[in-house]
Amino acid sequence: MNQNTFKAMVVRERENNQFVREIKNRTLDDLPPGDVLVNVKYSSLNYKDVLSTLGNRGVTKKYPHTPGIDAAGIVAESRSKDFNVGDEVIVTSYDLGMNTSGGFAQYIRVPADWVVKMPEGLSPRESMIFGTAGFTAALSVYRLVDYGVTPDMGRILVSGATGGVGSIAVSILAKAGYDVAAVNGIIDETDFLLEIGAKEVISIEGATDATGKPLLKGLWAGGIDTIGGEILATMIKSIQLHGGVTCCGNVGSHDLPLTVYPFILRGVTLMGIDSQNCPMPLRLKVWNKIASDWKLGRLELLTTEVSLDELSGRIDFILQRKHKGRTIVKLPE
């Protein structure tokens, strides 16, 4: 390979709406225009990436395409005064990996206003253990703290706690001094959840109300939901007076079967979390928290590392709903 050729996962469409994943050689000329060329060292695997590999047109409109909504690496070329060759940087969110060639490749080229300088105290590998999922978790915790939910008010319930967002949310909350109740996954991961900081583990059935009551006993000071649907509705109905809930996902359902009573009788607040278009000033605040107060000392408990060649098998593993924690991707040198 010459210096302008690099390895990337490429998803292409075959006949009958079938999509295949391949590791192929690409050139820098294949990349879109942009201000900053990044030599990617690590990426991470998120559910949105999985959808892109399946041909989900709500995520990716045109194929062939390289997914990967996360990337961390070193600036190789820059037309921006804010970034110099050799800078370590993070790129997550915006259109990366959706319709812009993404982080499952040795190089990306993006606009300068998508790029975050690596915070002091964080390495490219560590930043991708967080990635979009971890940033979303940290943003969720930030919103709860900013809203005024403090550790002395009671336990925080986290749904989808074995997944990428949920497991990091549990870990950050525990480090920040909160007692956490974690909703288990389809596969029992009680030991894992207790090890990363949960004080209590609840089954999916235990976190899902079957009575249809408009309000339930106030059990939680706050909640972080990654699932949506009945679990989110149950969480909201179980929040104590003036508590808050963040919502960032709909893997369970996009419907919310709920009355207004939790909001008007208990003053519960539901806060939507949109990490993709999070304003840069807030984005920088959260990344700096991740690199300092909320830096996790036992990141490896959450992490499975794969190579680019092993990535396709890991995607299949997620589709079987067998994963836990975070999967990071080490790009070839």
Write out pLDDT tens, residues 78-98: 999 999 999 999 999 999 999
Count CB neighbours of 150 within 10 A.
14
Whether 95 and 140 share a structural domain:
no
Amino acid 95 reads D
Residue 287, in any domain of the structure: no
CB-CB contact of 35 with 87 (8 Å): no
State residue 142's pLDDT score: 98
Contacts of 108 (CB under 8 A, 6+ apart): 31, 37, 38, 40, 68, 71, 91, 96, 100, 101, 102
Whether 137 and 101 share a structural domain:
no
> Treating both helix axes as pointing N-terminal to C-terminal, what angle do 124-147 and 164-175 enclose, rounded to 10 degrees?
70
The pair phi, psi for residue 194, each rounded to 5°, is -65, -35
SS3 state at 9: strand
Of 65, 178, 175, 130, which is closest to residue 275 (Cα–Cα)?
Answer: 130
Please write the tens of the pLDDT for every residue from 141-155. Answer: 999 999 999 999 999
Identify the segments of the chain with pLDDT beneath 50: 1
Residue 280, in any domain of the structure: no
Residue 281, in any domain of the structure: no
Q: How far is CA 162 from the centre of its chain?
A: 12
Cis peptide before 64 (omega within 30 of 0): yes
Q: End of a domain among 237, 272, 307?
A: 272
* pTM higher than 0.85: yes
Of 60, 133, 71, 142, which is closest to residue 108 (Cα–Cα)?
Answer: 71
Residue 286, in any domain of the structure: no
Residue 289, in any domain of the structure: no
For residue 309, the domain's CATH number is 3.90.180.10
CB-CB contact of 227 with 246 (8 Å): no
Whether 108 and 142 share a structural domain:
no
Quote the domain boundaries for residue 26. 5-118+298-330
Whether 108 and 216 share a structural domain:
no
Residue 188, in any domain of the structure: yes
Whether 22 and 61 share a structural domain:
yes
Six-digit token string for 318? 């997620």
For residue 227, the domain's CATH number is 3.40.50.720
State residue 322's pLDDT score: 65
Quick one: DSSP state of residue 294?
T
SS3 state at 97: coil
d(CA 29, CA 26): 8
Whether 257 and 152 share a structural domain:
yes
Domains in the chain: how many in total? 2
H/E element, 168: helix 164-175
State residue 1's pLDDT score: 43
223 pairs with which residues across the strands? 157, 245
Residue 277, in any domain of the structure: no
Count CB neighbours of 189 within 10 A.
20
Whether 191 and 256 share a structural domain:
yes
60-74 as b/e: b if 16+ CB within 10 A: beeebbbbbbbbbbb
CB-CB contact of 262 with 218 (8 Å): no
